[in-house]
Amino acid sequence: MKAEFTAIIELAPEGGYWAICPEISGANGQGDTIEEAKDSLREAIELILEDRREDILRGLPKDVIRETVMVA
């Protein structure tokens, strides 16, 4: 899945950077550099979305219709 999300990056008081994603509740990352903070945030977003997908799919009936929808 390919998608774009917003990364809000701030200097951390103890050094390095914090990053959050306003579109994905709970997604945050940190790193010594901006790139490390973005990479950490990217991993958090991937894990959260994967977990949510798996959680929802577990509860679906066997006869459900499952399709893919593309969003631009």
Report the greatest alpha carbon distance in the chain: 52
Q: What is the pLDDT of residues 29-48, one digit of tens each?
A: 999 999 999 999 999 999 99
Q: What is the pLDDT of residue 6?
A: 97
Average pLDDT over residues 4-33: 97
> Of the candidates 26, 35, 28, which has an alpha carbon nearest to the alpha carbon of residue 8?
28
* The amino acid at 11: L
pTM for this structure? 0.84
Q: What are phi and psi of 66, to 5 degrees?
A: -115, 120
Average pLDDT for the chain: 94
